[in-house]
Structure formats: structure tokens, C-alpha cells
Amino acid sequence: MSQALPTIGHWIDGQNLLGSARRQDALADERSQEVFNPATGTAEKRVLLADKTTVQAAIASAEKAYPAWRATPPLKRARVMSKLKGLLEQHGERICALLTAEHGKVAGDAMGELQRGIENVEYASYAPELLKGEHTRNVGPGIDSWSELQPLGVTAGITPFNFPAMVPLWMWPMAVACGNTFVLKPSERDPSSALLIAQLAFEAGLPPGVLNVVNGDKEAVDALIDDRRVQALSFVGSTPIAEYIYSRGCATGKRVQALGGAKNHAVVMPDADIDNAVSALMGAAYGSCGERCMAIPIVVAVGDATADAVVAGLQAQIAKMKVGPGSDARNDMGPLVTKPHFEKVRDYVEQGVKEGAKLLVDGRGVKVPGHENGYFLGACLFDHVKPEMVIYKEEIFGPVLGVVRVKTLDEAMRLINEHEYGNGTCIFTRDGEAARYFSDHILVGMVGVNVPLPVPIAYHSFGGWKRSLFGDLHAYGPDAVRFYTKRKTITQRWPSAGVREGAVFSFPSTK
């Protein structure tokens, strides 16, 4: 591996660490991997992969910082979040350029991701209000009772490649606002934005050790899972990894929240505004090259006439799409994140053809002048997809949209409810009764009505059902406060001076 490539290290105890905790002067001996620009297919950086010793050093730093940070008043913690919000806005273009260079998403999508992350930082700045307990005077004669929300200690997060700025901001701002310290393990495919944001948090006033970032692979993940100093662990990624992290983390006594995969269906009713539905589906299916856990990869059209209209509209709009590097703001869709992922998505398209789905738009032959080695796959559209097909059952995570034809709303809902994933879904209709029935009876965690990507705002919580979420609490919003704190209830009595009381052997009550 060329030593000329810039090196991405770790952020531990308020410092950039360009080596392991044992060998800071031996970069050549470090495990590392290349970080590619997906628009060019060229390695532009390399990232160090933390060994167990380095992860343990990050945890030790967080453990050391915890007592003082726990004792810091919530208002002072909140002020750090407020300063960070301003710095994120000030450095927004710089952060988004990193997202484009390492993930490939177009500029508008990168800015939208960052803005959603900033909103979570803003919510974390409400900590003094969110952490207020409950108090009741005179629950019994001369007895007062109250509850407090106390931090857990060292917490950690493992985040995916598809939202390298936003998903970490779902986790650690609320964790540290609640008084915890944090160790973040971002995706090694696009790690730079997480490191830059950690440095901005330090600039905003976050003390050394409160937030640490370690880059790495499975060795780093397992080190976080197995270390009993880590009290809580949050994860976003694929379902097999989510299930692994949840099971192994719970076995070590951790509180674990693991968000997994998805296969989100959009139901289009015969009475829907087809033009608006098609426009919404275009962004939901092909935005960010389909690399979103809330993307829409399946349209369930109720009635053949509805399906024909939706398919015709999609074909017309796909023909107008511009595919190219995310650095060009005129493009609608950039490349897939890595060459292996590009090949995986391309194989899914070939699988769909073999299974008998009708490929109406084939994006496999797209060429971007000047970027012939980039990981570009154009929009793909299948019709007559069947529930037994692999392209229906599995999460593709690419710009591949399939249309399933059904006769009734109940048939559409049965397909959704029987699927192993239950992350997000939506319905397009003008019928309020149908929308209410759908919302009430669908077995999915996030539901949109004429909204294709029903991603909750920062002061609600994000999470799916079934095999899309392992754990009881959703991400960010009010559930984040619950996840990163533990409730303590205190009951207090001060007997009157000079009053002698006898022993009471019955169970205390208010009667």
C-alpha cells in the first residue's frame, strides 16, 4: 500500500492518534485499508484499523472522563451542543465534500443528511428540560418521592457507511448530553466526516475523553461488544450483524439497541394522485443511489390500471435522470459506495431477470464520461415482481425498484405484514378511510401517508418492527433519553424532632 496516501487515524482523549496505543511510531506495521472515491474508483486515503489495544485505550479514556462529565450540570453540557450546532453549520460545505468524496452522494443529498444530523444536536441541547425528573410531595405522611434520570457511564456506537455524518449524530450527542461518555466506531469505508465532527465537538468545548472515535473492522467491533466497561451499545446496519451485536452484547450485560435491514413497500391505490406519487417514488427509490434503510425498493400497485400508470410515469422520469459524480450539483444520482457493493447490486439485477421479472429499465450499461472506473449503476426498474423472488425478499440497497401487482388493499397489506422486515412503509391515496385503516393495521414501525420516506423528525424517535430492530427502544428523540439514562426513584422522610416511633411490620402503603 502506498505510503503517499493521506492517513486517517483515530480520535482518542482529544487527540489525533495515527497509530495503535502500543506503536504510535510504527505506521508501517499498522493494519489499514484504502478509502476509495467511488466516482473515480481511485484510492485517495487509507484508514487505520484499530486493534483491541487501541479500542481499550479509547474506552479507558472515556472511563476516566466520565466522573467529571457526569458531574457537569446539564445546562453546561447543553451549551456545548449549542456551540457544536453552530460549528457544524459553519463547516457544512467541508463536511459535505467529505461525504461526496468518500460515499459518492450528490451535494444536495449530503447537505440534507447533515441537516438531519444537526437537528439531533439541537434536540440534545434541550438536555436540561429532557432530564428533569418527576416529584411528588407527601406521597405519604411527611414522605416525598421523586425520580431522577442518571447516566449509564461509557457508551458506544457502531455506524454504517450510508449516513456517515447523520447516524453518528443520532447517537453520541444525546448520549453525552445525558452525562455519558462515548466511543464511536464509524464505517471504515467513509470515516473522515466522523473524525472531523469529533474535532469540532472538541472545539465546541467537549472535554478530552468524552467522545472518542476508533476506526476499524470486526476486531474493533468485538472489542467494544466484549468490554464490560461499555454499558450501552447502539448499532445501525444489516440485520445479520444487528442480530449478532444484540445477542453478543446482551450476553455481556449491556443495554443494546441494534437497527437492522429493511424492505420498504409503497402501496399505490387507484385513487392516488399518480403524477405526485411517481415523483415521490423517484426520490425514494433512487435518491442516494438507493443506499438508505428507508428507501422504497418495492411498489405495490393496487389494480393493473394503477400499475400501468405508475410504470409509465416512472419510465418517463427515469429517462430524464442525470447520473454522475456527486461533486456536480446537476446530477440526480451518484455512484455506489464501493466496487464490491456495485457488483453485488448488479448481480441482484441479473438474478431478477433470471427469475422472470420484467426488466423495463436496465441501468447496468450506464457510462459516465471521464469516470469510466467509477461505481456507477443507473436506475433499474422491474415490473411483475413476485413475492417468491429474491429481488423481492432481500434488501438490495441499490437503485433497483420493483413493481408488484395486486388486486386489493388487503392483499397489499398481507404482503407487507408477512415480510420479515418492518422498517418503513407508505400509502398513496386520497381516501382518508383507507389511509387510517392502513396506518392502524400495518405491522411496520414507521408509516407514511402520501409521504414516501416517513423518517421522524429529531424530537420523535426512529425505528422499525420485526427483524428491522433488536431491542426495546428506538433511535434518537425521546427514546434516546431513555436509552442513555437509567431511572432512579428516591423516597424520603424526615421524622419530626422528639417524636418516638415504634416498629411497623406491615408493608408500607398510603392507606
CATH number at residue 371: 3.40.309.10
- Residues in contact with 288: Cβ distance below 8 Å, sequence separation at least 6, in sequence order: 105, 109, 162, 295
DSSP annotation string for 282-349: HHHHHGGGG--TT---EEEEESHHHHHHHHHHHHHHHTT--B--TTSTT-SB---S-HHHHHHHHHHH
Look at residue 456 and tell me if it is in a domain: no
Domain with 208, as residue range(s), is: 7-260+468-489
What is the tens place of the pLDDT at every residue in 451-496?
999 999 999 999 999 999 999 999 999 999 999 999 999 999 988 7
Residue 3: is its pLDDT beyond 80?
no
DSSP annotation string for 371-389: -TTS-----EEEES--TTS
Tell me the angle at which helices 107-124 and 74-90 cross, rounded to the nearest 10 degrees: 160
- Residue 273 CB neighbours (<10 A): 14
Does residue 334 sit in the same domain as residue 403? yes
Which CATH number goes with the domain that contains 153? 3.40.605.10
Residue 60: is its pLDDT beyond 70?
yes
Task: Quote the cell numbers at residue 122.
Answer: 439541537
Look at residue 153 and tell me if it is in a domain: yes
Look at residue 504 and tell me if it is in a domain: no
Last residue of a domain, one of 449, 478, 499: 449
Segment 393-397 long-range contacts (CB within 8 Å, at least 24 positions apart): 393/263, 393/419, 393/420, 394/263, 394/348, 395/238, 395/239, 395/261, 395/262, 395/263, 395/297, 395/421, 396/290, 396/297, 396/345, 396/348, 397/162, 397/290, 397/291, 397/295, 397/341, 397/345
Torsions phi, psi of 58, nearest 5?
A: -65, -40
What is the tens place of the pLDDT at every residue in 253-303?
999 999 999 999 999 999 999 999 999 999 999 999 999 999 999 999 999
Does residue 386 sit in the same domain as residue 308? yes
What is the tens place of the pLDDT at every residue in 71-107?
999 999 999 999 999 999 999 999 999 999 999 999 9
Distances (CA, A) of 284 to 165, 237, 293, 388, 425: 20, 19, 11, 23, 11
How far does the chain reach from its first CA to its final CA, in angstroms?
76
For the chain, how many structural domains are there in total?
Answer: 2
Last residue of a domain, one of 422, 449, 476: 449
Q: What is the pLDDT of residue 228?
A: 96
- Return d(Cα 180, Cα 178) in angstroms, integer: 6
What is the tens place of the pLDDT at every residue in 347-371?
999 999 999 999 999 999 999 999 9
Does residue 127 sit in the same domain as residue 154? yes
- Classify 43 as helix, strand or coil: strand
Does residue 123 sit in the same domain as residue 230? yes
List the catalytic residue out of 96, 289, 293, 380: 293
- Residues in contact with 76: Cβ distance below 8 Å, sequence separation at least 6, in sequence order: none
Look at residue 389 and tell me if it is in a domain: yes
Residue 2: is its pLDDT beyond 50?
no
Does residue 92 sit in the same domain as residue 186? yes
Does residue 250 sit in the same domain as residue 300? no
Residue 20: is its pLDDT beyond 70?
no
Q: What is the pLDDT of residue 218?
A: 96
What is the tens place of the pLDDT at every residue in 115-156?
999 999 999 999 999 999 999 999 988 899 999 999 999 999
- Rounded to the nearest angstrom, the gap between the alpha carbon of residue 263 and the centroid of all alpha carbons in its chain is 15
Mean pLDDT in residue range 372-387: 98
pTM: 0.94
Look at residue 123 and tell me if it is in a domain: yes
Distances (CA, A) of 397 to 95, 290, 339, 468: 24, 6, 14, 14
Does residue 202 sit in the same domain as residue 290? no
Residue 511: is its pLDDT beyond 80?
no
- Return d(Cα 209, Cα 162) in angstroms, integer: 26
Mean pLDDT in residue range 378-386: 98
Look at residue 511 and tell me if it is in a domain: no
Mean pLDDT in residue range 391-405: 98
DSSP assigned state of 359: E
Residue 41: is its pLDDT beyond 60?
yes
Buried b vs exposed e over 161-182: b needs ≥16 C-beta within 10 Å?
Answer: bbbbbbbbbbbbbbbbbbbbbb
Residue 26: is its pLDDT beyond 50?
no
Does residue 82 sit in the same domain as residue 203? yes
- Return d(Cα 48, Cα 33) in angstroms, integer: 7
What is the tens place of the pLDDT at every residue in 319-345?
999 999 999 999 999 999 999 999 999
Active site residue 293: yes
What is the tens place of the pLDDT at every residue in 219-252?
999 999 999 999 999 999 999 999 999 999 999 9
Does residue 339 sit in the same domain as residue 204? no
Does residue 72 sit in the same domain as residue 106? yes
Does residue 246 sit in the same domain as residue 118? yes
Q: What is the pLDDT of residue 78?
A: 98
Look at residue 277 and tell me if it is in a domain: yes
Does residue 359 sit in the same domain as residue 434? yes
Q: What is the pLDDT of residue 28?
A: 46
What is the tens place of the pLDDT at every residue in 146-182?
999 999 999 999 999 999 999 999 999 999 999 999 9
Look at residue 118 and tell me if it is in a domain: yes
Q: What is the pLDDT of residue 500?
A: 75
- Return d(Cα 45, Cα 52) in angstroms, integer: 23
